[in-house]
Structure 1
Amino acid sequence: MTSGGIRRSMKAVATTALALFGGAVWANPQPDQLNLTKGVTTWSGEPYFLNNVAFGVCVVIGIVVFGAMFISMFKFRKSRGAVAEKWTHNTKLEALWTGVPIIILIVLAKLATTGLVSFADTTGSEMTIKVTGYQWKWRYDYVDYRGKAVEKVGFMSKLDGRSDRTRQLGSGMDPGKVTVDGYNTYLLDVDHPLVLPINTKVRFVITGADVIHSWWVPALGWKMDAIPGVINSAWTNIKEPGVYRGQCAELCGQDHGFMPIVVKAVPKAEFEQWLATQQDEAKLLKASQTAQTAPAPKGQG
Structure 2
Amino acid sequence: MSGSKLMAALSGFTVLGLYSGMAMSSKYNLPEPQTPIAQQIYDQHMMALWICLVIFIGVFGVMGYSIIKHRKSVGYKAANFHHSTAIEFIWTTIPILILVAMSWPATKTVIEMKDTSEADVTIKATGYQWMWGYDYIQGEGEGISFYSQLSTPQDQIRNEATKGQDYLLEVNNRVVVPTGKKIRILMTANDVIHAWWVPALGVKQDAIPGYIRDAWFKVEKPGVYRGQCAELCGKEHGFMPIVVEVMEQEKYTQWVAEMQKSASAGVVNTALVEQSSGKN
TM-score (normalizing by structure 1): 0.85
Structure 1 moving runs of 4+ over 4 Å: 14-19
Q: Deviations over 1:82-127 (max 9, x none)?
A: 1122222222111110011111112222221111000000111101
Q: Which residue of 1 aligns with 2:119?
A: 125
Aligned with residue 279 of structure 1, among 245, 255, 260? 260
Distance 2:96 2:252 in 1: 49
Percent identical among aligned pairs is 38
Alpha-carbon deviation of 1:255?
A: 0.9
Question: 5+ unaligned residues in a row in structure 2: which ranges?
Answer: none
Distance 1:17-1:72 versus aligned 2 partners, 3 A rule? closer
Q: Which residue of 2 aligns with 1:36?
A: 30
SS of 1:215's equivalent in the other structure is: strand
Q: Which residue of 1 aligns with 2:177?
A: 196
Give the superposed CA RMSD. 2.2
Deviates most, 227-236 or 59-68:
59-68
Q: Which residue of 2 aligns with 1:288?
A: 269
Matches within 5 A, 1:224-263: 224-263=205-244
Alpha-carbon deviation of 1:128?
A: 0.3
SS of 2:37's equivalent in the other structure is: coil
State the number of aligned residues: 278
Distance 1:160 1:186 in 2: 9
Q: Which residue of 1 aligns with 2:84?
A: 90
Alpha-carbon deviation of 1:11?
A: 5.5
Distance 1:64 1:4 in 2: 18
Alpha-carbon deviation of 1:193?
A: 1.1
**Cα contact 1:42–1:239 (8 A) shared by 2:** no
Question: 5+ unaligned residues in a row in structure 1: which ranges?
Answer: 26-32, 179-183
Q: Which residue of 2 aligns with 1:53?
A: 47
Matches within 5 A, 1:126-275: 126-145=120-139, 150-151=142-143, 153-162=144-153, 164-168=154-158, 172-175=160-163, 178=164, 184-275=165-256
Distance 1:64-1:10 versus aligned 2 partners, 3 A rule? closer
Distance 1:16-1:60 versus aligned 2 partners, 3 A rule? closer
- State the AA in 2 paired with 1:167: I
- State the AA in 1 paired with 2:38: S
Distance 1:62-1:224 versus aligned 2 partners, 3 A rule? same
Distance 1:81 1:203 in 2: 69
TM-score (normalizing by structure 2): 0.91
Alpha-carbon deviation of 1:22?
A: 4.8
SS of 2:36's equivalent in the other structure is: coil
- State the AA in 2 paired with 1:166: Q
Distance 1:56 1:111 in 2: 15
Distance 1:78 1:144 in 2: 75
Alpha-carbon deviation of 1:34?
A: 3.5
Q: Which residue of 2 aligns with 1:67?
A: 61
Distance 1:262-1:64 versus aligned 2 partners, 3 A rule? same
- State the AA in 1 paired with 2:155: R
Distance 2:261 2:172 in 1: 21
